[in-house]
Amino acid sequence: MNLLDVRNLTIELPTHDQQIIAVDRVSMTIREGEILGLVGESGSGKSLIAKAIVGVLNNRWKVTADRMQWMGEDLLRLPVEERREIIGRDISIIYQEPSRCLDPTAKVGEQLKESIPNSILKANFWQRRKARQEKAEGLLHKVGIKNHKRVMNAYPHELSEGVCQKVMIAMAIAKCPKLIIADEPTASLEATTRAQIFRVLKSLNQLKNTSILLITHDFEIISHWTDHTNVLYCGQLVESGKTSDIITKPFHPYTDALITSVPDFKEATAHKQKLVTLPGTIPSLEHLPIGCRLGPRCPNAKRECVIAPKMTKRQSHSVACHFPLNLTKKETIT
Ligand SMILES: Nc1ncnc2c1ncn2[C@@H]1O[C@H](COP(=O)(O)OP(=O)(O)O)[C@@H](O)[C@H]1O
Ligand code: SF4
Ligand SMILES: [Mg+2]
């Protein structure tokens, strides 16, 4: 069953002299129990998409879509209150910087307890206080925090980024959401904590069938933790399909470059060998190239690429490129 079905999501920023299109007709579907990856370089529009889904972009942004259906209901066409209620109940978001999202003036335990809805406490109202305390402690254990007393009594600044991130995850899972949007949830953490956090997310996915939209710039994370992947470049989707298909046979030159930049995906690299990546950087939204947005950086670009390529499909694997890679002679893209 589809939980979230987004068609042609466009996010624009009107300025005094031009309309900046930061996200351009992006479509994606998240099924129940699926871990979907959204990968792309910094500045490609990943966080804007996450924020548009949960409706927290400020009014300067214009968000439009043919549809943004949550379990059959179009979020963009619902009254604001109703939309907030659905998102508050069913969707949690984990941001990149936990210390910014936690309230610096309140103890962590109080913040965590507040995030537990009454509806999931199996207790009468006079027993709720105790039940809430126990639930909060249980949530901390679940995310790998053993010394719950110290953490509950601390203010965010007294804890490391890793512990704060675990607390954010505990808050995100407190309401048993149907979908967790994890926006670079481990970007500033060291490797052991990072692995722990992904294991928590994966076990929720397996035990509670929670769907996860995992946002990252790192293909290694995508390869380990996701079922399907969407590749975003400069606000547009360029490739989409099963993660295993994309890793073994990427169609788009950009995806290929992202995969090749992970050292152990291809043959062993020689000592101090330069990583193969694309030249240049992602263009600014004010100065986008004509036609394919990857054109100026693409090693395969040809004259035809001045016309923007459309998303085309081969079985369940889609790509937006005039000259896809890894096709055998017999294979065609339709
Ligand atoms: N508040 C803002 N004002 C102007 N431009 C913004 C703002 N937030 C993001 N952008 C621009 O929108 C694009 C996408 O940003 P973002 O979604 O944060 O990228 P990502 O999460 O992929 O790194 C970037 O080019 C960024 O510069
Ligand atoms: S359409 Fe052309 S420029 Fe764009 S990715 Fe494909 S080959 Fe490269
Ligand atoms: Mg981001």
Q: How does pLDDT run across 97-124, given as a tens digit for each residue?
A: 877 789 999 999 999 999 999 888 877 8
For the sheet with 236-242, list strands across it: 91-94, 179-183, 211-216, 35-39, 228-233, 236-242, 317-319, 312-314
pLDDT of 131 above 60: yes
pLDDT of 274 above 70: no
**Could you tell me the distance, in angstroms and rounded to a whole number, from the CA of residue 263 to the centre of ligand 1?**
28
Q: Look at residues 325, 316, 166, 127 and name the one whose alpha carbon lies nearest to residue 240.
A: 316
- What pLDDT does 189 receive? 77
168 close to 102: Cβ distance less than 8 angstroms: yes
Q: How far apart are CA 254 and CA 32, in angstroms?
A: 29
Q: How far apart are CA 214 and CA 37, in angstroms?
A: 5
Q: How far apart are CA 193 and CA 179, in angstroms?
A: 22
Q: Look at residues 95, 99, 86, 92 and name the one whose alpha carbon lies nearest to residue 174.
A: 92
- What pLDDT does 257 receive? 93
- What pLDDT does 60 receive? 92
100 Cβ contact partners less than 8 Å away, ≥ 6 residues apart: none
Q: Give the ligand 2 atom nearest the CA of 295.
A: 3
Measured CA distances, 219 to 37, 39, 169, 257, 316 (Å): 9, 7, 22, 10, 20
Q: 39-78 pLDDT, tens per residue? A: 999 999 999 999 999 999 999 999 999 999 999 999 999 9
Mean pLDDT of 11-20: 87
- What pLDDT does 271 receive? 52
- What pLDDT band is residue 265 in, cutting at 50, 70 and 90? low
Q: Look at residues 52, 44, 26 and name the one whose alpha carbon lies nearest to residue 284.
A: 44
CA dihedral sign, ordered 242, 33, 73, 20: negative
C-beta 48 within 6 A of ligand 1? yes
- What pLDDT does 96 receive? 82
User: Which burial class, exposed, middle or buried, applies to 141 when counting CB atoms under 10 A from its CB (0-12, 13-18, 19+)?
Assistant: exposed
**Could you tell me the distance, in angstroms and rounded to a whole number, from the CA of residue 278 to the centre of ligand 3?**
20
Ligand 2 pocket by C-beta < 6 Å: which residues? 253, 292, 294-295, 298, 300-301, 305, 309, 321-323
The whole-chain average pLDDT of the chain stands at 90
Task: Specify the pTM.
Answer: 0.92
- What pLDDT band is residue 272 in, cutting at 50, 70 and 90? very low
Helices and strands (H and E) in the chain: how many: 11, 13
- What pLDDT does 2 receive? 92
pLDDT of 315 above 80: yes
User: Which burial class, exposed, middle or buried, applies to 100 when counting CB atoms under 10 A from its CB (0-12, 13-18, 19+)?
Assistant: exposed
Structural domains for the chain: 2-226 (3.40.50.300)
Strand pairing class (179-183; 91-94)? parallel
**Candidate from 237, 292, 304, 325 with most ligand 2 atoms within 8 A of CB, to mutate:** 292
- What pLDDT does 269 receive? 47
Higher pLDDT: 151 or 193? It is 151
Mean pLDDT of 24-28: 97
Higher pLDDT: 6 or 123? It is 6
User: Per the structure block, which two tokens stand in for 300?
Assistant: 């395969």
Mean pLDDT of 239-248: 97
- What pLDDT band is residue 222 in, cutting at 50, 70 and 90? very high
Report the C-alpha dihedral over residues 291, 184, 133, 199, rounded to 10 degrees. Answer: 110
Q: How far apart are CA 72 and CA 58, in angstroms?
A: 25
